[in-house]
Copies of this chain bind each other. A is one copy, B any other.
């Protein structure tokens, strides 16, 4: 089982970097998650930015990877439902790749390349918050799956 997270854009906030490192450390006994930060083209008009970001995302995805896109309009799951779904997926797909888009999200093509659009909330989060929240929810998913105290 391998998880990879592709993030369009950099981490600018020190507290987010610290939080990401904290949850990567907590996750280490369960899984070693690779995070790749891809260039953002948010200074360009939306359509052009999405197209350029699409090209780079596709270059960083291999055929054997199961793609989960974080999208505000994706599936809305409780933490328990997310845990169940995630661990069902890992039985069939050894490599899970999450994609967090830039300020405009991801292109329709990228969405179509995925069988699972996941929504963390109907609210909009920065890509930095989305990464931190996703890591905490993956950690929570492991604790739920292992029936270890953390999730109430």
Indicate if the CB atoms of B78 and A122 lie closer than 8 Å.
Answer: yes
Give residues 36-92 of A contacting B (CB, 8 Å): 72, 76-79, 82
Give residues 93-149 of A contacting B (CB, 8 Å): 103-104, 120-126, 129, 133, 136-137, 140
Indicate if the CB atoms of A140 and B124 lie closer than 8 Å.
Answer: yes
Task: Identify A19's interface contact among B13, B125, B140, CB under 8 A.
Answer: B13
Indicate if the CB atoms of B16 and A19 lie closer than 8 Å.
Answer: yes
Indicate if the CB atoms of A152 and B122 lie closer than 8 Å.
Answer: no
- In the complex where A103-B152, A136-B129, A152-B103 touch, is A123 in contact with B77 (Cβ < 8 A)? yes
A selection of 10 A-B contacts at a CB cut-off of 8 Å is A14-B18, A77-B122, A77-B123, A78-B122, A79-B123, A124-B151, A124-B152, A125-B133, A125-B136, A133-B133
Bound together, the chains give a CA A18 to CA B14 distance in angstroms of 8
Bound together, the chains give a CA A126 to CA B152 distance in angstroms of 9
Bound together, the chains give a CA A72 to CA B129 distance in angstroms of 19
Question: Which partner residue on chain B sits nearest A18 by CB separation?
Answer: B15
Question: Which partner residue on chain B sits nearest A144 by CB separation?
Answer: B124
Indicate if the CB atoms of B78 and A124 lie closer than 8 Å.
Answer: yes
